[in-house]
């Protein structure tokens, strides 16, 4: 049995032609993903290796780790040594007395062991805190790297989607423009339809140019993070189920953020450091006790007179305890104490602010995920409705109950809905990452999980059906349209009521 498209009923052939006109533009502008298209995990690992901001954080971590041995050094013995040599010549004005000279060589070692220095003890504890704070700061840099690289990745996908949709819309409007011109030439449409389509086509061209520019900017931003040029990226599978937050309790997430957010931890270390700085300032009123020991050697030679030469060697050593008691410093210590106490109060306020900010960030991200999932479902339904509206308006335009501007508006609504749907999916995923980042639990495994939602199939985002192979039907004349309205107008008007 041979299939003949022309043998189908008129309505079916018309709907097949509409399907071709709807989806052929997207298929024409949607490029096939190359085999070398990068995924999110690859982009993240490239960022780990090449991102300058992350490299800076890594170097900062190595630097802050040195605060611990530096602080410990103040509690350990301090040993110093010295070596000296000198020659003394004495010229006599009395001729009968010979000139004299003396040579001196010496060396010495000195050891100082702090026995009680409260300021140095606090400096040592501050070094411990600085090293811990450095680890927390680096953890924050790791979280930022995941969110920054992921955001840049999805920004490129958004820009790609916008460019593809702009090209598809331009092509669809171009076909509508060509049809309007043909209808005008045969007298079945007015010049208004052509002008409307031409205006929309020019606007679509401008939108496509802007989308191309936005894509170049997004790729440049991603390249700045990864250090590598960006070509194609894997897109999101249309059937991908975006996971919701677990547990599904916003208060639990907020409480965890207050406890484990890296910025909260950093603020806590800053508060303890400020408190120890105040304690160190108060130690200016306390005495300091040091164990002091020294050992030295001196060798002296010379000529005292013509008949007498001098040679001597001396060894000396001493050990003792040295106590230093501050008496008066002009009020500097009291002023320093007041300053450090005020800074400690500031650090306490900063800690409270960090807790509130972390909780608010968690609540906002949680809301973004839950509402985003609902928005995605609503936009999926809106996409289906917009697609049906385009089909109905094109069919109505053919039978004369719709005008060209109705078709153009319906197509514009469809493409805008698809763009909004794609953006909602990306934003929901990003809010999920930010939610975990706000609690400090975000890690590479979360990137791997998102990576499973990606696909290399071109056009998968738009769930395009296979276009039917049917030729477009020529526009009906007004007389023929009127004759067919009795059997088709009711169905068209019911499926797409005109507002």
* Per-residue pLDDT tens digits for 54-78: 999 999 999 999 999 999 999 999 9
**Roughly how many angstroms between the first and final C-alpha of the chain, as a whole number?**
45
* CA atoms of 265 and 269, how far apart (whole Å): 6
Bigger pLDDT: 448 or 302?
A: 448
Q: What is the mean pLDDT of the chain?
A: 83
Cβ neighbours for 390, distance < 8 A, ≥ 6 positions apart: 18, 22, 407, 410, 411, 414
Residue with tokens 């002009």: 330
Angle at 495 between CA 489 and CA 498, to 5 degrees: 75
Indicate if the pLDDT at residue 495 is higher than 50: no
Element (H, E) at 309: strand 309-324
Instruction: Quick: pLDDT tens for 187-207.
Output: 877 888 889 889 989 998 999
CATH of 40-88+116-288+331-455, one of 1.10.3720.10, 1.10.3730.10, 1.20.140.10, 1.20.1600.10: 1.20.1600.10
* CA atoms of 407 and 162, how far apart (whole Å): 21
Q: Tell me the sheet residues that pair with 84.
A: 106
Parse the chain into domains and list their residue ranges: 40-88+116-288+331-455
pLDDT for residue 194:
87
34-43, 139-148, 225-234: range with highest mean pLDDT: 139-148
If pLDDT is split at 50, 70 and 90, which confidence band does 245 have?
A: very high
Instruction: Quick: pLDDT tens for 389-443.
Output: 989 988 887 887 787 788 888 888 888 898 899 999 999 999 999 999 999 999 9
Bigger pLDDT: 172 or 293?
A: 293
* Token reading at 260: 């484990």
Indicate if the pLDDT at residue 357 is higher than 50: yes
Q: For residues 496 and 389, is the Cβ–Cβ distance under 8 A?
A: yes
Indicate if the pLDDT at residue 159 is higher than 50: yes
Indicate if the pLDDT at residue 122 is higher than 60: yes
* Share above pLDDT 90 across residues of the chain, in percent, rounded to a whole number: 60
Number of Cβ within a 10 Å radius of residue 107: 14
pLDDT for residue 125:
96
pLDDT for residue 31:
47
Query: CA torsion sign, 281 to 284 to 290 to 292?
Result: positive
pLDDT for residue 183:
82
* CA atoms of 114 and 247, how far apart (whole Å): 54
Mean pLDDT computed over 122-128: 96
What are the percentages of helix, strand and coil residues in the chain, rounded to 5? 65, 15, 20
């Amino acid at each position: 049995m041979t299939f003949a498209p022309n043998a189908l009923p008129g309505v079916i052939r018309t709907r097949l032609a509409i399907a071709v006109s709807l989806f052929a533009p997207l298929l024409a502008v949607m490029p096939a993903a190359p085999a070398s298209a990068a995924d999110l995990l690859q982009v993240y690992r490239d960022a780990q290796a090449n991102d300058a901001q992350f490299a800076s954080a890594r170097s900062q971590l190595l630097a802050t780790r040195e605060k611990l041995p530096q602080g410990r050094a103040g509690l350990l013995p301090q040993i110093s040594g010295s070596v000296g040599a000198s020659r003394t010549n004495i010229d006599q004005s009395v001729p009968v007395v010979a000139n004299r000279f003396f040579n001196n060589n010496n060396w010495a070692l000195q050891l100082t062991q702090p026995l009680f220095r409260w300021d140095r003890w606090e400096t040592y504890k501050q070094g411990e805190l600085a090293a811990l704070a450095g680890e927390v700061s680096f953890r924050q840099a790791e979280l930022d790297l995941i969110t920054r690289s992921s955001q840049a990745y999805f920004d490129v996908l958004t820009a790609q989607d916008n460019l593809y949709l702009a090209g598809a819309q331009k092509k669809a409007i171009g076909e509508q423009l060509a049809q309007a011109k043909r209808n005008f030439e045969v007298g079945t449409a007015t010049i208004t339809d052509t002008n409307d389509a031409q205006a929309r086509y020019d606007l679509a061209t401008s939108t496509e140019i802007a989308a191309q520019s936005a894509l170049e900017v997004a790729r440049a931003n991603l390249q700045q993070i990864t250090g590598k040029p960006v070509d194609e990226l894997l897109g999101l599978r249309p059937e991908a189920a975006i996971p919701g937050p677990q547990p599904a309790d916003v208060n639990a997430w907020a409480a965890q953020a207050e406890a484990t957010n890296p910025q909260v931890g950093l603020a806590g270390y800053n508060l303890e450091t400020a408190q120890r700085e105040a304690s160190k300032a108060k130690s200016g009123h306390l005495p300091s006790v040091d164990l002091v020991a020294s050992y030295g050697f001196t060798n002296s030679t010379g000529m005292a007179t013509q008949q007498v030469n001098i040679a001597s060697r001396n060894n000396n050593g001493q050990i003792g305890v040295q106590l230093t008691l501050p008496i008066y410093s002009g009020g500097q210590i009291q002023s320093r104490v007041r300053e450090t106490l005020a800074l400690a109060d500031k650090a306490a306020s900063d800690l409270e602010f960090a807790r509130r900010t972390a909780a608010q960030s968690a609540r906002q991200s949680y809301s973004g995920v839950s509402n985003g999932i609902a928005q995605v479902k609503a936009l999926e339904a809106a996409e289906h409705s917009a697609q049906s509206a385009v089909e109905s308006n094109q069919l109505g335009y053919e039978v004369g109950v719709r005008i060209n501007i109705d078709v153009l508006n319906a197509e514009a609504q469809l493409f805008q809905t698809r763009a909004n749907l794609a953006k909602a999916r990306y934003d929901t995923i990003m809010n999920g990452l930010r939610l975990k980042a706000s609690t400090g639990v975000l890690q590479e495994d979360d990137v791997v999980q998102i990576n499973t939602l990606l696909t290399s199939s071109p056009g998968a985002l738009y769930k395009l059906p296979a276009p039917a192979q049917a030729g477009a039907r020529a526009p009906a004349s007004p007389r023929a349209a009127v004759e067919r309205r009795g059997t088709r107008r009711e169905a068209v008007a019911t499926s797409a009521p005109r507002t």
